[in-house]
Structure 1
Amino acid sequence: MNADYTLLLQTVRHWIPVHEEEESVISTLFEHKQLAANEFFLKAGDICHSVGFVVEGLLRYYILDDGQEHTYDFSPERQFTCNYESFLTKTPSVRFIQAIEDTSLLVISYDNLQRLYDRLQEGQKFGRLVAEELFVGMLQKLTSFYNETAEERYDTLLRSFPDLQERVPQYVIASYVGIKPQSLSRIRAQRAGKNY
């Protein structure tokens, strides 16, 4: 089994035990996919047909509002990526999922995901636990946006994604925090002990 599938198995085992005979089931249901920087995993208006597991690289989620991009999440290595609303309901997405850097994924289709749930002894539990973690994460982000200052949201971002500053353009981080790039520059300068 190659290193990509080994990484996927380690991540699945975070939630459930995987028996040796189940390893081949997982490896046959996922396929490799490569995205170049700025290429899309999903565009608004398209239906999300697969779930991706990020082996290497980084994706961002954003919506367009009057031509303005509003970034609301990221998927770095060892995380799953999907617009679950579109994926589960088979309706067009209103969100974009875009590679920030060259990204290598393992992807699974809706039908193959159902097979995974059925063929793994604890497959249904795996699906439930992943969904619960995603749900809690989205609620925390929503609460953060309404209850935290821009500085607090920036701190939360750095705790959640420690190496993001080196990998993501400043305007994307500013969009996630909910401020203008100039305001983010001031926050970063203050943290560095400079006067503005």
Structure 2
Amino acid sequence: MEHFLNAIGRFSNNDINVFKEYTTIRTFNKNELLLKHGEICKSVFYILSGSFYQFQMNEVDEIVIDLHLKNEWLFNHTSLINQSPSLTSIKAFAKAEVVELSLTRLHDLISKSSAYLQLGRLFNQASERIYFFDNCLTPAQKYGHLMEAKPLAMLTFPVKMIASYLKIAPETLSRVRARC
């Protein structure tokens, strides 16, 4: 756990040990929901193994909002921050193991040591990235960003899911990949 905490900030050995006491290891099977549409997100998760995707349903398909791989934090930003029902679902794409930290336990940690305020950095990253990604980039830029930020995503998720995440048709993704 030290490596993912130290990637966020500086934590003493005692801070890391206390963090371990406040978290839970959970396993999810393929296609198991971590968060259902309409539920309130009450925890943040760190992916130890496996992969997840966050999606919304339209009339017939899952519209992929985000892809999550090993060594990433995972949560529904809006639902967690506002404690409101989630507009998306989060599903395990493959069998996965995660570290779970509930919002209540996070508040308890912060009351024990101000060092845990550094975890707040997690909450700023997600919403800004999704808005910029969805609204400001061309298909080629989106693909380039994905290859730079999450190169293993192309090996983990099927082309149709990658295309949905990039908000482009699978055929457009094929053309973009051929040019890159």
- Over residues 124-164 of structure 1, what are the superposed CA-to-partner deviations in whole Å (9 max), with x where a residue is unaligned? 2x133222333xxx323322333322122111111110111
The answer to whether 1:184 aligns with 2:173 is: yes
Distance (Å, rounded) in 2 between the aligned partners of 1:59 and 1:19: 30
- Over residues 58-79 of structure 1, what are the superposed CA-to-partner deviations in whole Å (9 max), with x where a residue is unaligned? 1111112233322121221222
- Over residues 55-109 of structure 1, what are the superposed CA-to-partner deviations in whole Å (9 max), with x where a residue is unaligned? 1111111112233322121221222111132223332211011111111101011
The answer for the alignment partner of 2:11 in structure 1 is 18
2:108 aligns with one of 109, 115, 125: 115
1:128 aligns with one of 90, 115, 120: 120
The answer for the alignment partner of 1:164 in structure 2 is 153
C-alpha displacement of 1:174: 0.5
The answer for the alignment partner of 2:70 in structure 1 is 77
Q: Structure 2 stretches of 5 or more lacking a match?
A: none
Distance (Å, rounded) in 2 between the aligned partners of 1:176 and 1:21: 39
- Over residues 158-186 of structure 1, what are the superposed CA-to-partner deviations in whole Å (9 max), with x where a residue is unaligned? 11101111100111101011112222223
> Any residues of structure 2 matched to 1:1-196 within 5 Å, and which?
8-124=1-117, 126-134=118-126, 138-191=127-180
Q: Is the 8 A contact 1:117 1:127 kept in 2?
A: no
Distance 1:141 1:133, change over 3 A: closer
Of 145-154 and 30-39, more deviation after overlay is shown by 145-154
Q: Considering only aligned residues, what root-mean-square deviation do their CA atoms show, in Å?
A: 1.8
Aligned sequence identity (%): 21
Q: Structure 1 stretches of 5 or more lacking a match?
A: 1-7, 192-196
Distance 1:109 1:140, change over 3 A: closer
Distance (Å, rounded) in 2 between the aligned partners of 1:52 and 1:179: 28
C-alpha displacement of 1:120: 2.8
C-alpha displacement of 1:190: 4.3
One-letter identity of the residue aligned with 1:70: I
User: Normalising by the residue count of structure 1, what TM-score does the alignment of the two structures yield?
Assistant: 0.83
Distance 1:88 1:142, change over 3 A: closer
One-letter identity of the residue aligned with 1:186: R
Aligned length: 180
Greater C-alpha radius of gyration: 1
Q: Is the 8 A contact 2:31 2:94 kept in 1?
A: yes
One-letter identity of the residue aligned with 1:131: F
